[in-house]
Structure 1
Amino acid sequence: PGNTNEIIVTDPGTYTLLVTNVNNGCTAEQSVEISQDVTLPEATIANPETITCANNTVTLDGSGSSFGAGYDIQWSSTNGNFVSGTGGLNPVVNEPGTYNLLITNLANGCTEEASVVVDENTELPEANAGIAMTLTCEFPELTLQGSGSTGPEFEYQWSGPGIVSGGNTPTPVIDQPGTYDLLVTNLTNSCTATSSVTIDQDIQAPVADAGTTAELSCTLTSLTLDGSGSSSGPQYAYLWTTVNGNILSGEDTPAPTINAPGTYTLVVTNLNNGCTSESEVVITEDDDLPEVNIAQAAPITCVVDEVTLDGSASVSGPNFQYLWTTNNGNIVSGANTPNPVVNAPGTYLLTITNLQTSCSNSESVVVDDQTALPAVEAGTSDALTCAQTSLSLDGNGSAAGANYTYQWTGPGIVSGETSLTPVVNAPGTYQLLVTNTLTGCTNTDEVIVPEDVVLPSVNIA
């Protein structure tokens, strides 16, 4: 109240105290000037950085606030966290939240407060290295099936023992077994995520065993190869090939049938991994055929009705068997010897068999037929007359040549009895014998020479 010696004022201004002596009515007064100091301190906080995976602490900036001995600084937060520096204007925080700065002017007790929100961007990207796979002989390179967050702000980086290409893409190509790590980075907050995948390798080659060498012979003309020492089971495939032999059947089995000498190659494939192995076997052949050699045969002629064939230049010995056969001739004797006797023209086949190997070889010879009779033609003849007492016979229609001889017989051969045109002077039958001197074959023909010598009748009266 204003009638006491002490009052409380709330406004600045001049305040006067009047004191009155109630006994004598005397007064005295004195004035006092009350000033006012309500100047607020400055409290301000700059916009803070964002807490990220790369920047996990933030320094708040209250440097624009009042500072000095006359000021008290007080930082507070209900949902953040201070690491250090709360006694100054630049504290370090490591949690998102609202941070408050209270500045007190110690001289007048005035305060000012500022608040700032520290945001956080620590969202991790997605990273998936994909499914596990296996390198094989069929697939010596694989493309990993990675995935993750997409967009221009995301970066991919693979690490591992055998990256061929695409190491900064979701799907790199690799060629080695091992563990492959995918690192996905969000370039805006430097947050990363990782994922791993293990790549196995199956390059175990199958076993290919083409077996041991074998030998074809004249009795063993085909045989079965033995690939039973190779890997077996439903996951294996077999393929036999040859460039100089011949496969009859079973080229896709472990045991094919072949019928020719040569080199045979077996390729075994593991269908699970595509790996292959191959093996070769050499098949030989005992094809030492016996030698058959027959001399040229003499022909059957009119004077030679049996011929001895000559196979004596052929192989000989107790291990060899001879057999002569014919379809159109005739063997008199010796069909099991090198020199049989035959009595008919035709083709004769000599087969010689090696009794140890059962190998046989054959050769044939032709016995010609030279029993054809020579052509003979004694011709025709004119008659002998009183005016023509001799004439020439004409055998020119007969066979002619150096190997032919001629012989005329009859009652009146004057000359040329060994030619085709003899001269005769007597009527009668004349015979021409033609002989082929090469074959001894002969043929005859006759001609009758008539005579007309009837004298005319003469009667003189």
Structure 2
Amino acid sequence: SVLDVPVVIGMIYTCTATAIPTGNCSDFRQAVVNVIETPEITEITAFPDTVLCSNDTLILCGQNGVAGIDFDYTWTTPNGTLVTGTASGNEIFCDTFAPVGDYGSGTYTLVISNQGCLDMASIDITVNQAPEISPIIGNTEFCEGGSATLELWNNNPLVDSFTVVCTLPDGTVVTQPGNGTDTIIVNVDQPGVFCCKFVTPDGCESEESCVTLTVIQLPTPEVPDTIELCDSEILELTGTANGSALDTINYTWTGPGGFIFTGTAPASGPFPATDPTPETGLYCLVLSTMGNSGITCESDSACTMVIVHPTPVIDGIDGGGEFCENQDVTLTATVTIADGSDMSYEWTLNGMTIDTGTVASGETLTLAASAAGEYCLIVTSDFGCADTACTNVSFLTAPDLLEVTGGGEYCEGESVELSGMGTPGPGTVTYTWTGPNGFIFTGTAPNGGPYTAVRNNLTLDDSGLYFLDVALDNGCPADTTLAVEVIVNPVPVVDSTIGDGQYCEGELVTFGYSIDVHGADTTYYNVTGPGFDTSGVITGDTVLLFETTISPATAGTYTLSMITSDSCESLLAFVVLSIREIDPAV
């Protein structure tokens, strides 16, 4: 059987059993009973409040009302997180939940246990979601007069709406609404520290996010108001600047006709540029620099008005050059100017003024040049733009022929070298040799010669007078023409040979030569061969015949040589006689 005994204190309990009805038989047993005290939660406290933002820190504290005991405790958060600890007696024990948003909004339950004897209590905590601010991104450098465009956003998707509160570098506070995780764009035109935070309608705030903004200051360019120049001149642009802490700076000039020039210079200038083909219009200077972040800033432009005046144009001077003595020379030049205005002109000879006046655009000026030298025409506009053209006039003395050489007697086939000499003078000359049988040769040489020509492979028809004519390059001829006589003497020719071949030994052979004396009056001949030598004279075309008996002593080459009474030698002619080889009888 089971006996229920109320236990109120810890002690030794004895149980005795007696037999009924005799009552004489009995037995007993003893049991030791320990009584464990149950802890009692007397208080749960939340700091700083029971309504918090998700990024706040919650401190929960509890207290046991039973003194003298040690116990374990466990906090259970709304999201199921368990936080455990130990404590003694009735001391207050506390735990931190940070940030409280990680543990949830709702009931926080505390269970304390003394060896299995429990007590439990709870507290309700309301957690409002706080926005989570992103880093502020964007270019933290901006140009003077501009602004920095910055972006930031809320990283907590549980927050639907909030107020963006930003503090400008000068301390001014500005606000704007924010929604969910949408990107927020802020433009700031002040250098310094710029900070923002998000605040919900419940009063929950994000941390503050800050950046330091830097303004890039550029100097102000300064340029002349006006520049005037001629269109034949090179435009020299320049500018200066004040008020910059930069060491160097980039600059750009722009102007009419697509002109652009970019350079780098000290921040205070100068900022030079040149335009070789300037046009009337505004030429503007802009300064620029690149910040550390890569942003490029440009100054306001400063412009100078460039006025380009037209320059007169001389379309060359016609009529200059080399002329014969006492020849009339007239120089002409047509002048124009783009604006059609009148111009002044000046003719000079070797730097000395010889004529002046006024000329209209498109008019042709003329000048009689009677002296040798450099003639220059200078035409100037009202503004002072000028064009200059020059030409030289020289008068050449006609060449003077002194002698010619190369005449005499020659043999057919030879060459004759003709030459002439004159008094040395200025310039070059053109000379021409002409002669019989259509001969003509033209060449150039220094004034005074030599004036040479060669006629090769002379024929009988090339005999006659050869004339030399000399003229300056401009056509001024020499006063005289000289000539030499060339006589070409004939050279006899062997038209054919007779008897060339093989013969039987002992055979009598006739050999010879058919001769054309080409008109030579007297020709001397000589025939030589093996054991043979004979000479003679012929006075006209003929056939020379000779006999010899073929033998080993007479076989060989027979050579004919001829020379005229004018000492013209013919080419050698040959007859070869040889012994025929006889095959032995079979």
Give the TM-score normalised by the residue count of structure 1: 0.41
Q: Which has the higher contact order (CA 8 A, sep 6+)?
A: 1
Greater strand content: 2
Give the TM-score normalised by the residue count of structure 2: 0.34
